[in-house]
Amino acid sequence: MKTKTLAAIFIISGILWIQFLAAAEDYSEWKEVARLSVTAVVAPYTSVKLSVNEIAFDIKGEPGDYDANQGVSITVGSNQSKWSVHAKANELIPESDKASPLPSSRLAFSINDENDFKDLGESRLLIEGEAARPPTAFTLNFRLTTAWEDLPGTYRGDIIFSFLSSP
């Protein structure tokens, strides 16, 4: 009796196993039972790096055009489709009350050692780029034009670099 029962269980389980395998082979019969939604947000990334925080002009001679003590390396990286970097100067304010500010238009720049200097009295396009472009360093040279009306002393100001993107 025991043998018959065991044989019956063995046969039935074998049949069930074969049916299960047959069903598993038929993929078309698989049905979606759950869906997991995945959202990846790639944030706009921009990096504008300057090699120095400050440039200086040491004007010892007669008024004229003077180059800054050093060039500035600017490196821009972005994942935005199109981007551009613009620069504009603020006027240089004297430390002394007696002197007048130096207008921002007296500051000028050139890129990659070119001799074509453009004044920074208004916003100027420096560099344009695309996302596919790897970050590249550019060298900026700055020049200050002085006049006889500029009193001796120390003047301070800044140049603002702004980044514009087209996502």
Partner 1 sequence: MNILRSLIIVSILTLPVVPLAYAEDDPLVRLAVKAKIKSNVHIEWEKLPDIDPRYIAFAKNRTTQSVKKNEKALLLPFALLVKLRTNDPTKIVKIHVENLKSEGGKHNIPVERLFLSINGSPDQPFTEDIALLQQQEGSEIKELALLFCLHTTIADKSGKYSANFSFITSDIP
- What is the nearest approach in angstroms of partner 1 to the Cβ of residue 122? 16
- What is the nearest approach in angstroms of partner 1 to the Cβ of residue 69? 9
Round to whole Å and give the CA distance between 6 and 25.
Answer: 29
- Tell me which of 5, 26, 97, 152 binds partner 1, using CB under 8 A: 152
Binding window for partner 1 (CB under 8 A); candidates: 3-11, 24-32, 58-66, 110-118: 58-66
- Tell me which of 12, 23, 128, 156 binds partner 1, using CB under 8 A: 156
Q: Is 84 exposed, middle or buried (0-12, 13-18, 19+ CB in 10 A)?
A: middle
- Tell me which of 11, 17, 44, 136 binds partner 1, using CB under 8 A: 44
* Residue in the block written with tokens 């019969």: 29
Round to whole Å and give the CA distance between 61 and 152.
Answer: 11
Nearest to 55 by CA among 72, 38, 32: 72
End-to-end CA, the chain: 80
- Tell me which of 36, 38, 43, 132 binds partner 1, using CB under 8 A: 43
In a 3-state reduction of DSSP, which class is residue 64? Answer: coil
73 binds partner 1 (CB under 8 A): no
39 binds partner 1 (CB under 8 A): yes
Q: Which CB sits closer to partner 1, 8 or 160?
A: 160
Round to whole Å and give the CA distance between 117 and 82.
Answer: 25
Positions touching partner 1 (CB under 8 A) are 39, 41, 43-44, 46, 48-50, 52-63, 72, 89, 92, 102, 107, 142, 144, 146-165
